[in-house]
Each structure stands twice: as structure tokens, then as C-alpha cells.
Amino acid sequence: MNVLYSPRYLVDIGLHVFPTRKYQLVHAGLLADGVIAEQDVIEPQTAAWDDLALVHTREYLAKIRDGTLTSDDIAQLELPWSPEMVEGFRVMVGGTIEAARLAVEHRSIVGHIGGGLHHAFPNHGEGFCPFNDVAIAIRVLQRNGVQRVAVVDLDVHHGNGTAFIFESDSSVFTFSMHQQYNYPMWKPRGSLDIGLMDGIGDADYHRQLEEALPAVMASNPECLFYLAGADPYEQDQLGGLGLTLDGLRARDRIVIDQARRNGLPMVIVLAGGYARRVEDTVAVHIATMKEAAR
Ligand SMILES: [Zn+2]
């Protein structure tokens, strides 16, 4: 399996609940476990500002490029601004774009050890997400002739930015299954939203997921984006669901098998993960990629 990764994803954001070192740890773990070999790893190009502008406003892009975000902008983004931060996330957007291009070209599953920045809106960044990489990659695919795309977002937090971007666009089916009473407070309507009650466990989660996926497939996507967030984990600091490590892996299998059975190109991005022990977050992400490489 091809995976996209860059060491530039390791951005210094100081003491923070978001462990930017997880990317490096997942990459190293996948190599150590023999899930991928060095030659499977592709280092992405930095996404062009014009590609970012397929989703984001020119005003916002100028502010984040030039470092003229207001203190309110920074508070909403919840990341300290630096040229290195902006560059790191631009490369990460490039990773999702390249993963999508490869998945469609080879009709295969491609993993991105990064991405899933689903809280970014056209005119602002939010919740550790400066740019909406999945939305941008979808627009790039559509520019290249792909018509219908679907997003399966299983991060514990609602994919508010993605839902907003495609709210009135019937060519993109957005499915989010998340914890209802958690950030973000305002949840723009996606094509299919399932807001879960606090603390639900593996069996209930799997059942609701299996019931929802036929609606995603019925939208006839030509490519599927899977946000395999690690934060539905019972030990997550920013999540309130009760999934176990095995339960998360079974979740991944349900989604990946669905794409595989239908011969659907698929892009897997990591999205969130804030377990008390970073090793647990890394283990969830590694297990996702193992399922994909199976
Ligand atoms: Zn999240």
C-alpha cells in the first residue's frame, strides 16, 4: 500500500493537547512492523495556494500566509501561528491531494499519515485545523473529472467545516458519526449526521455504523474519503465515547471492507486523537493502516 508522509508534519506548537509527533511515530511504527516498506512512502509536494483557494477565501489565505491573523482568529484556530506551522499544514494538504490522485488513478486504497482537518471553514481555521485538506482534495479531483465523492467521518467530533463547505453541493455526500454533546457546538448539516450519546461502546457503535453505510454507498461515489479519527477511544482526553482499541479496529474493518467490496478508490486520513498516552493514539492509527494494507 502506498502511504503519504512528510517529516515536516512535526510542527512545534509548544505544550499542547494535539500531539504533532504522532505522525512521525505512526510512520516509524508502520515501518518497524513491516506494514509498509520505505519504497511505499511518498513525500508530498506542498499544496499550491491556488489549490487552497478552491475551498478557502483569498482573504483568509492572505492572513494566514502573511501572519496577520487576529487574536480572535488564533483563538479559534487553537494553534500558535508560525511560518513553519503554515508550511507543515500546506504540505499535509498536498499529502491528501496526492493520496486522492493515486487512489483514483490506481483504483486502490491509499493511506495518508496525516490529514483529516475537518474543522476548517472557507474563511477561517478552527480546532487545530488551518486548511480543510479533504475538501481541497475533493475539489482537485473534481477539477480532474471525478464527479461524485463521499466522506465518511468517524472522528469523535462533528465534521463541521466539511459539512458547511458541501452543504448545498449534491455531488459530495458527507457522513459524520460523532459524539453529539461535544465540540463543535454548531454543527452545520451534512448529508447524514449521527450524533451519538455519551459513552456508547463498541457494539452499539458498530451497529449504527453498519446501518448508515448503505446510504453512503447509495450516493454512488467514485472515491471515498475516510477520516479514521482515533478520538472515539475510551481513553481520549477530548472525546466522551467508550470504544476500545479492538472496537476501533473493527470499526475500520467495517468501513474498509465496504469500499473494498465495491472496488471503490479510498483515501484514509488520520484526523484526531488525544489519548492520555500518545502510544494509544499511535496504536489506533497503526491498526487502521494495517486493516487497509490487509
Ligand atoms: Zn476530533
**Ligand 1 centre and the CA of 266: distance in Å?**
20
Q: Which three cell numbers stand for residue 226?
A: 475516510
**Ligand 1 centre and the CA of 39: distance in Å?**
30
**Ligand 1 centre and the CA of 73: distance in Å?**
19
Q: Tell me the whole-structure pTM to 2 decimals.
A: 0.98
**Ligand 1 centre and the CA of 116: distance in Å?**
9
Q: What is the pLDDT of residue 272?
A: 98
Q: Is the CB of residue 225 less than 8 Å from the CB of residue 137?
A: yes
Q: What is the pLDDT of residue 48?
A: 98
Q: What is the pLDDT of residue 171?
A: 98
CB atoms within 10 A of CB 171: 14
Q: Which three cell numbers stand for residue 294?
A: 490487509
Region 258-277 average pLDDT:
96
Region 1-12 average pLDDT:
96
Residue 30: pLDDT band (50, 70, 90) is: very high
Measuring CA to CA, which residue among 97, 84, 103 is closest to residue 132? 97
Q: What percent of the chain has pLDDT over 90?
A: 99
- pLDDT tens-digit series, residues 198-254: 999 999 999 999 999 999 999 999 999 999 999 999 999 999 999 999 999 999 999
Q: Is the CB of residue 117 less than 8 Å from the CB of residue 92?
A: yes
**Ligand 1 centre and the CA of 156: distance in Å?**
5
- pLDDT tens-digit series, residues 61-92: 999 999 999 999 999 999 999 999 999 999 99
